[in-house]
A and B are shown apart, each in its own frame.
Chain A
């Protein structure tokens, strides 16, 4: 069976500098994968390149054995929370409904069914009582939950999430990880850009260490080792005994 995600020799460059060099990995179905690496390692770039949001120089990207096409509706995407303007005049429910826009097609508006789906997924993230709240009046954690609800209504097979844990409270972080685990248990494949090294082993069963190139990828226990982390972060980490990661690189 083909893996949901197969990346071969992917190179991405801004101007003349390569941001991703010869990236190569595959991710098995029903896994929860963390992409880990220092700032500027190209983690977000990797996701954007896979989704075709930025052009690649070379390489092959396959989602369920085929090049990525938005029309296939296989992929759900959660951008960084900071990438949008939260003062936009719209409500939480409206933002979630945007996740349906790809399904609705040209010239049509979201229908009753879409609204029901959107409300359901707001409920799944514990935000159903905030449906009509203007998005600027939500806390950072609540905004992230809205983004997650929006990804859920996309009803995808593969989910890419860019730093969903940044600036959220502990309760939201727990709720998010529970949700991601549920998705995984349904046989969906979830890829998360993550920067908190202390929680990697707890949250993810698979792991990609990235610093412009893939340092290691595979099952977390095999990949997430002190030597490999040193190699990824280039000695910018402080370790406590027995290889527990104590201090992550300053953001």
Chain B
């Protein structure tokens, strides 16, 4: 398959994977925790490399999941001990991220990773990094990794759908009827961590936050049903990915940057034009109410 198609496919997979999991982050008001995890997984990746001495995706995923979960736990712990949540997030993630940056620069000779790449990603290189598995034709590594994580996420979400829903909406009731709220929380954080790593190569640590939050935030403004929100969010993720790619080739600029920008543009459009919750929609409703109330 052509170079271009692979980039679009991988970018779309990033959009779906991040978009779907991002909905739960928004509903739980954990958007900033996603920001934190997306940065600290860098440390996980570096540690995984230093310990395993290989760039194998599996080790990276494990390293990232562990560090991601540890980040979530440490933030929870500090918060529980009376540190404000935003302060604990700010302290923990910058600290871990800084360690990651230091390790990369110290071991620069042996680590095939650089800070720029980690921050911004480089989806344009994705089609050059192919692997052959069994009788399959050569496939990009990023494609295999993203597809596996997406399937894993979907299976976990289907298995724990009602638990994810009730712990997002009413954690007190969930706990009272015996649903392990903390387990579900860390399950979600684990999913966020591995999704971030899988998307890391393509869009980098900073822009992955845009892909996690913006599509879900757009979907939130358009629907009143959780399952619809998940699907819409995946759709917006893909839309941002594809339009971002074409914008990037058009103005000859960073693909990941354009993807993140387009997810922002899409959000802005929805924010203005959403029929029920958008700026214009609200105005129209007010107008209608006014004319109804003044009518004889």
Contact = CB atoms under 8 A, between A and B. Distances in A.
A90 B224 CA distance: 6
Interface stretch (A30-38, A81-89, A182-190): A81-89
B60 to A, nearest CB: 29
Does more than half of chain A's interface fall in helix, strand or loop, or is it mixed? loop
Contacts of A84: 169-170
B224 A134 contact: yes
A70 interface: yes
Contacts, number: 79
Interface stretch (A104-112, A203-211, A212-220): A104-112
A101 B228 contact: no
A15 B170 CA distance: 25
Contacts of A193: none
A134 B169 CA distance: 14
Nearest to B219: A89
A88 B27 CA distance: 7
Contacts of A71: 178
Interface in B155-178: 159, 161-163, 165-166, 168-170, 172-178
Given A90-B224, A91-B225, A104 B172 contact: no
A166 interface: no
B241 to A, nearest CB: 23
Interface string A114-137: 000000000000000000001010
Given A90-B226, A102-B178, A53 B172 contact: yes
Interface in A54-80: 69-71, 73, 75, 77, 79
Interface in B134-182: 159, 161-163, 165-166, 168-170, 172-179
Contacts of B88: none
Interface residues of A, number: 33
B47 to A, nearest CB: 33
Does more than half of chain B's interface fall in helix, strand or loop, or is it mixed? helix
A154 B169 contact: no
A70 B178 contact: yes
B220 interface: yes
B224 A85 contact: no
Interface centre among A70, A95, A101, A150 (most CB of B within 10 A): A101
Contacts of A69: 178
A109 B158 CA distance: 10
Given A101-B162, A104-B162, A134-B224, A88 B168 contact: yes
B243 interface: no
Interface residues of B, number: 27
A51 interface: yes
Interface in B1-27: 27
A104 B159 CA distance: 13
A75 B177 CA distance: 8
A98 interface: yes
A98 B166 contact: yes
B277 to A, nearest CB: 9
Given A79-B172, A89-B228, A90-B225, A109 B177 contact: no
B79 interface: no
A15 B177 contact: no
A88 B223 CA distance: 10
A104 B228 CA distance: 23
A70 B176 contact: yes
Contacts of B161: 109
B152 to A, nearest CB: 16
Given A71-B178, A104-B162, A109-B162, A98 B173 contact: yes
Contacts of B159: 106-107
Given A48-B172, A77-B173, A101 B224 contact: no
A80 to B, nearest CB: 9
23 contacts: A51-B175, A53-B176, A70-B177, A71-B178, A73-B177, A83-B172, A85-B29, A88-B27, A88-B169, A89-B27, A89-B223, A89-B224, A90-B165, A90-B224, A90-B225, A91-B225, A95-B169, A98-B162, A101-B163, A101-B166, A101-B177, A102-B178, A107-B159
Interface of B: 27, 29, 82, 159, 161-163, 165-166, 168-170, 172-179, 220, 223-226, 228-229
Given A77-B173, A89-B224, 8 more contacts: A75-B176, A83-B172, A85-B169, A89-B27, A89-B220, A89-B225, A102-B178, A107-B159
